[in-house]
Amino acid sequence: MTRQAGLFDPAAPGFEEIELADARMRFMPRFYDPAEADRLFDLLLKETDWRQESVVIAGQARQQPRLCAWIGDVGYAYSGLSLAARAWSPTLARIRQQVEAASGHAYNSVLLNLYRNEADAMGWHSDSEPELGPDPAIASLSLGATRSFRLRHARRRDLRPLSLALSHGSLLLMESGVQRFWRHAVPRESAPCGPRINLTFRWIGAG
């Protein structure tokens, strides 16, 4: 029997819990099977209005080392950058629905990031803008090249940092405590690697 495009892989295992002090994180390595993940990668690469944004850090405007796009029912602002609301494409609307069903959370926006190669990266941060609320649940879908996702506790030095390989078609749920107690980053890689698209689904409330 051939699998109908767009349905979950019936063989996909459930989420595995990632052990993290003060926080809950769940991971599904094969949320999309490789064929569906390939298809979504190609669609999103082509359909997205990718931009390289500048952010203001310590009073200095700097170009981000990656491309991004924002889709949402409402606009968004971070690091002095404001992103206007944009409509959901059929591709993104369907992914959102599937991520909502699997995670049990609702999302009204998604930030897309395109890491063009090994030199693109995201620095240490937590997603803690006031619009996200005090303890957000964020779902992170990865497509394309596997990149390493690092986590370190914001205060406790006795805890070891963690590194997760976010592979093609994987879904990571950052739930209670992750943004409050941990920081995360996607560092540059020393070895050459191809492009990667990451989608973080978020719920933006009243700021």
Quick check: 168 and 144 in contact, CB under 8 A?
A: yes
| Position among 107, 149, 181, 201 found at the interface with ligand AKG (CB under 6 A) | 149
What's the residue count for the chain?
A: 207
Dihedral sign of CA atoms 24, 113, 188, 57 in order: negative
The CB-of-70 to ligand AKG minimum distance in angstroms stands at 10
User: Closest Cα to residue 200, out of 127, 131, 120?
Assistant: 127
Residue ranges binding Fe ion (CB under 5 A): 127
Segment 94-133, which members bind ligand AKG (CB under 6 A)?
111, 113, 122, 127
- Closest CB to Fe ion among residues 40, 174: 174
Quick check: 113 and 197 in contact, CB under 8 A?
A: yes
- Closest CB to ligand AKG among residues 6, 161: 161
The CB-of-138 to ligand AKG minimum distance in angstroms stands at 7
Quick check: 12 and 33 in contact, CB under 8 A?
A: yes
- Closest CB to ligand AKG among residues 11, 86: 86
- Closest CB to ligand AKG among residues 95, 122: 122
Task: Identify what 143 binds: ligand AKG, Fe ion, none; CB under 5 to 8 Å per kind.
Answer: none
Segment 181-200, which members bind ligand AKG (CB under 6 A)?
184, 186, 198, 200
Number of Cβ within a 10 Å radius of residue 94:
13
**Strand 81-83, strand 60-63: pairing:** unpaired
201 belongs to the binding site for ligand AKG (CB under 6 A): no
Residue 163 φ/ψ, nearest 5 degrees = -130, 125
- Closest CB to ligand AKG among residues 102, 122: 122
Distance CA 122, CA 185 (A): 6
140 belongs to the binding site for ligand AKG (CB under 6 A): yes
Quick check: 133 and 194 in contact, CB under 8 A?
A: no
Nearest residue relative to ligand AKG (C-beta): 198
Query: Which residues form the interface with ligand AKG (CB under 6 A)?
Result: 111, 113, 122, 127, 140, 149, 166, 184, 186, 198, 200
